[in-house]
Amino acid sequence: MNKLILLHIFFLAVLFLFSPVIQAKDKKITVVIDAGHGGKDSGAKGSTVNEKVINLAVALKLGNLIADNYDDVKVIYTRKTDKFIELDERANIANRNKADLFISIHANAVKKGSHVIGTETFTLGLARTEENLDVAKRENSVIMLEDNYLQKYENFDPNSTESYIIFEFMQNKHLEQSISFASEIQKAFTTAKRVDRGVKQAGLLVLRKTSMPSVLVELGFMTNKDEEKYMKSAAGQNVLAAALYNAFVKYKKEYDKRTAGQNKTVAPAVSPKQEVNEETGKKEINSAHAKKDPVVYKIQILISPKKLSATDKRFKGYKNISYYQDGKIYKYTCFESANKEAADKKLLQVKKDFSGAFVVAFKNGKRNL
């Protein structure tokens, strides 16, 4: 009897010791790949093929590349056949599956000018150019094929410029990773000898409700016969899918670094001088007088691929706007304190204007991940 008890205890001990390893091995990152359009929605029409066919072919090839090379990545498709999926449902699929990344694949088109070529990747935001707005209008017009689309999308008219004002201040905590991933995609396309049209922002409904980093990729122009032929070919689709895969590889490396460091703690500074915060009226650590480089907390409210003026209307009149750069991306903050509680308290106020705002920590002038 004693031997059985000892054996049972030994078994539980082994299970306890190795269960974290087992859980870590089973942990997966979930990627949702969205083949744009489908079914009754053909997308942009080329001279020999419709956009929906190209989108699906590249989406499946991308998914296969990821699944074949990563055991710890779960790939989910919004569609694997020629099927019509409503825009909101595409985002819902990603949200229900608690996805870590959303990739919507499309092909471009222009009303005039068959000479236009190149790839571009969009993140959510207000279109600052007429060209970007045209892309948003074309992609969003899909909702008009849905039943009761006015009620479902709160009277949003995809063809009305005024409707897009809702995207003026629409930012979220995932925008930073979205722009970063979009940049990697464009770099990969450049390496694959595709014309780089850059990372852009637009009011795209398919990205509006996703609760994870999300991008919409335009593979090329259906209105250019050479690009249509390239995107239609198996060889062209393989190159495009491989470029997207290579961008994902880099994204996943950064994702693994971020998640590995989530439990990292920072030791507090020793005997810092205290001063009164002008906004809270309370004493708090002043980073300029701390003896051991304390952590400084800021509230990030916006990011932009371009440098913005401190008086830009997107800041809604907030004072003490500052920014830091991450590669070619500008990240804007509106608060600074060495007191984490003060930053958290201020965040509650800031979120009323910037729902996606969050606290970021800095040490020695650099962001402390």
Each of the 369 residues of the chain gets a pLDDT tens digit; together they read 555 555 555 554 444 444 433 333 445 899 999 999 999 999 999 999 999 999 999 999 999 999 999 999 999 999 999 999 999 999 999 999 999 999 999 999 998 767 899 999 999 887 777 888 888 888 988 888 888 888 888 888 888 887 777 776 565 568 888 999 999 999 999 999 999 999 998 888 898 889 899 999 999 999 999 999 999 999 999 999 999 999 999 999 988 887 775 433 333 333 333 333 333 434 343 433 334 557 888 888 888 777 888 778 778 778 778 888 876 678 888 888 888 888 888 888 888 888 778 888 888 777 765
Q: Tokens for 318, please give them.
A: 């907030």
pLDDT of residue 293: 56
- Encoded tokens for 114: 């068959």
Please check whether residues 34 and 89 belong to one and the same domain: yes
Establish if 16 belongs to a structural domain: no
Q: Which of 205, 231, 260 is the last residue of a domain?
A: 260
Q: Alpha carbon 72 to chain centroid distance?
A: 20
Q: Is 144 helix (H, G, I), strand (E, B) or coil?
A: helix
Query: Domain check: are 252 and 282 in the same one?
Result: no
Contacts of 144 (CB under 8 A, 6+ apart): 158
Number of domains present in the structure of the chain: 2
Give Cα 201 distance to the centre of its chain.
Answer: 12
- Choose among 116, 136, 106, 135: nearest CA to 216: 106
- 146 and 214 together in one domain: yes
Spatial CA neighbour of 364 closest among 271, 279, 269: 269
DSSP 229-277: HHHHSHHHHHHHHHHHHHHHHHHHHHHHHHHHTTT---PPPSS--EEE-
Whole-angstrom distance, CA of residue 275 vs CA of residue 339: 11
The beta strand positions in 195-310, using DSSP E, are 196-202, 214-221, 274-276, 283-285, 296-304
Residue at 214: amino acid letter: S
Looking at the structure, tell me whether residues 96 and 186 fall in a common domain.
Answer: yes
**Do 254 and 343 reside in the same domain of the chain?**
no
Helix ranges, 114-233 (H): 130-140, 149-152, 175-191, 205-208, 225-232
81: CATH: 3.40.630.40
Q: Assess whether 64 and 163 both reside in one domain.
A: yes
- How many angstroms separate the CA atoms of 130 and 289, rounded? 49
CB-count burial class (<10 Å; 0-12, 13-18, 19+) for 330? middle
Report d(CA 369, CA 349) in Å as an integer: 24
Indicate if 311 and 223 belong to the same structural domain.
no
Q: Is residue 185 part of a domain?
A: yes
With respect to residue 62, please indicate whether it lies within any of the assigned structural domains: yes
Q: Which two tokens stand for residue 163?
A: 């409707």
Query: Is residue 3 included in any domain, yes or no?
Result: no
Domain CATH code at residue 334: 3.30.70.1070
Residue 85: closest CA among 204, 206, 202, 203:
206
At 284 the pLDDT is 40
pLDDT at 291: 42
Find, among 336, 329, 342, 343, the residue nearest to 365 by Cα.
336
pTM: 0.67
Residue span of the structural domain in which 350 resides: 274-367
